[in-house]
Amino acid sequence: MRKDIHPETYRKVVFKDMSNDYAFMTKSSAPSKETIKWEDGEEYPLVKLEISHTSHPFYTGKMKLVDTAGRIDKFKNRYKKFDKKTDEGKSEE
């Protein structure tokens, strides 16, 4: 095994699923600029997640659309010129 590749600065970190506000604490070396006050009254670094086991369709059995970054709108704007619905009203010159 290669030596000196694993971080040695593990600390308690809170991970928060932003789609359903579920949070859990574990040890990690993930960088974070934000903090959050935990149930024990202490402040811990906060890492925000887009999806976790409480919102992932594989674990929940439910399909849920998660669009945190406006990806659907970006996609629609990029490809709206190919949409047949918008082209029907236009006439070719």
| Distance from C-alpha of 56 to C-alpha of 61, rounded to nearest angstrom | 8
Query: Which residues, in sequence order, are CB contacts of 2 under 8 Å at separation 6+?
Result: none
User: What is the overall mean pLDDT for the chain?
Assistant: 80
| Distance from C-alpha of 92 to C-alpha of 82, rounded to nearest angstrom | 15
Task: List, for residues 15-46, the tens digit of each pLDDT value.
Answer: 998 888 889 999 999 999 999 999 999 999 99
| Distance from C-alpha of 25 to C-alpha of 45, rounded to nearest angstrom | 10
CB atoms within 10 A of CB 56: 14
Contact between 18 and 49 (Cβ < 8 Å): yes
Higher pLDDT, 69 or 19: 19
| Predicted local confidence at residue 93, as pLDDT | 46
Query: How distant, in Å, are the alpha carbons of 65, 78, 83 from that of 75?
Result: 15, 5, 12
Q: Is the dihedral of CA 24, 29, 32, 34 positive or negative?
A: positive
